[in-house]
Amino acid sequence: MRRPGGEPRVEVAAEAPWVRRLAILLAVLVLGLLLLLPLLAVATEALRRGWTPVVAAITDPDALAAIRLTLLIAAISVPVNTLGGLAAAWCIAKFDFPGRALLLALIELPFSVSPVISGLVWVLLFGAQGWLGPWLQERDIQIVFALPGLVLATIFVTFPFVARTLVPLMQEQGRSAEEAAATLGASGWQTFRRVTLPDIRWALLSGVLLCNARAMGEFGAVSVVSGHIRGETNTMPLHIEILYNEYQFVGAFAVAGLLALLALVTLAAKALLERSGDLARLRRPPA
């Protein structure tokens, strides 16, 4: 996701002003209708009775436990997928080997797997009726219906984000810079840190942030492995479902609003980073 900055040049090949205005209007209208309106609906429902019940819903001990759990899960899954994504992007983009396309396809696979399945596979594997279930039970190790299961399901769902953002960019950048550095005697780690990382850091961050946003918001997969114990294995999205099912609509939409807010902060951070990325690129002398 490279973003050359600067103002667009004045073009011979440009649309008539009315086409331009119409296109902008249409885009704003359609995106607003499709994307912004649901968010507005959440906010309206949450604030239906003012701020007091919103604050009460968010500071409820069970809600706080859900917030903590969600943040913890994201704090574990995002680094794992960042590390894996970096490794995958490095070997796919910088080396030729047979099966590269297959590897990339397999990395993208979790995108097309239904969230229900993403949760189910862990139950099939670690559940009491699953392959490793009896072995785990003998040792009193709980994976599904506890934190590890939630983390594994989240990692599965957010698996491709970092790799997917990095691979096309690193492929496009080629490997000549790294090869030059390596020929000059830089170690692998040095090459990576001094040559590769500066070029990919904005894409990396944007991938990480998307991964994080999705990790916090995942519902289907964690719902299968959670066990739904109040204050213990309920993440924020699950807590929202519980509140909703208890007819506490204001509370449900309040926590939903908070979660959406966390996601929006993430997205804003991404936009800001990309902007400073543009500036940094402008300051750098052209290669």
User: Within positions 90 to 119, which residues make up the interface with other proteins, using CB under 8 A?
Assistant: 90-92, 94-97, 103, 105-117
- Kindly state whether residue 187 participates in binding other proteins, applying the rule CB under 8 A: yes
Report d(CA 20, CA 267) in Å as an integer: 27
Instruction: List binders of other proteins among 21-60 (CB under 8 A).
Output: 23-24, 26-28, 30-39, 41-42, 45
Tokens of 287: 């290669």
Q: Which listed range, 51-59, 237-245, 277-285, lies at the site for other proteins (CB under 8 A)?
A: 237-245
The greatest distance separating any two alpha carbons of the chain, rounded to the nearest whole angstrom, comes to 74
Q: d(Cα 266, Cα 97) in Å, to the nearest integer?
A: 36
What type of residue is 184? L
Residues 6+ apart with CB under 8 A from 125: 131, 132
Tell me the closest approach of the beta carbon of residue 196 to other proteins, in angstroms.
10
- The site for other proteins, by CB under 8 A, has a size of 148
Task: Please give the structure tokens belonging to residue 265.
Answer: 């902060």
Stretch near other proteins under the rule CB under 8 A, chosen from 52-60, 206-214, 277-285: 206-214
Element (H, E) at 21: helix 17-31
The stretch near other proteins (CB under 8 A) out of 49-57, 261-269, 279-287 is: 261-269
Taking alpha carbons only, the member of 231, 228, 226, 219 closest to residue 60 is: 231
- If binding is defined by CB under 8 A, does position 144 make contact with other proteins? yes
Which residue among 207, 237, 251, 277 contacts other proteins (CB under 8 A)?
A: 237
Does 64 contact other proteins by CB under 8 A?
no
Residue 283 Cβ vs other proteins, minimum distance, rounded to whole Å: 15
123 binds other proteins (CB under 8 A): yes
State how far the Cα of 216 lies from the Cα of 235, in Å rounded to an integer. 8
156 is an interface residue for other proteins by CB under 8 A:
yes
